[in-house]
Amino acid sequence: MTGLTQRQILILVVFGISLWFGGALLIRAVEPLGALRGVGVPILYAAIIPGTYPFILLAQRMARLQPGQTLHAVAIATMSATLLDGIALMAYPALYGADRGGAGAAILWGGAVGLALALVMDRPKRR
């Protein structure tokens, strides 16, 4: 694994901020549909898995990541988004809709899914 450059880190921080805002609006949009409670939860959580993968590919391309940098890159983007989620959930909870608990759980799930996918994607290829 090679270290990330300052340029890559900046790109990933901005990428994480963008994902935070888009994710917050998505949670707000699906909350009235029942996606944060009951049977909607496993459906939403299942959809997050394949829905996250293209964003990791986009981050790889935008930051011009080398093999072995994906997990660190996703950790930086996730850090940026999670910091803003922590602030917004307390300061402006209406951004996420009425179900703050369900929103927080979906945020944690999405962040963990991104990190898990990045870990798998960073595994060395076997010959």
Q: At what angle do helices 6-30 and 70-91 cross, to 10 degrees?
A: 50
**Please, are residues 63 and 12 in contact by the beta-carbon 8 Å criterion?**
yes
**Number of compact structural domains in the chain:** 1
* CA nearest to 115, candidates 66, 44, 29, 48: 48
Q: Is 28 inside any structural domain? A: yes
Q: Is 127 inside any structural domain? A: no
pTM of the model: 0.91
Q: Is 1 inside any structural domain? A: no
pLDDT tens digit sequence for 5-62: 999 999 999 999 999 999 999 999 999 999 999 999 999 999 999 999 999 999 999 9
Domain span holding position 19 = 6-121
Q: Is 114 inside any structural domain? A: yes
pLDDT tens digit sequence for 71-126: 999 999 999 999 999 999 999 999 999 999 999 999 999 999 999 999 999 987 66
Q: Is 30 inside any structural domain? A: yes
- The number of beta carbons lying within 10 Å of the beta carbon of residue 32 is 11
Q: Is 126 inside any structural domain? A: no
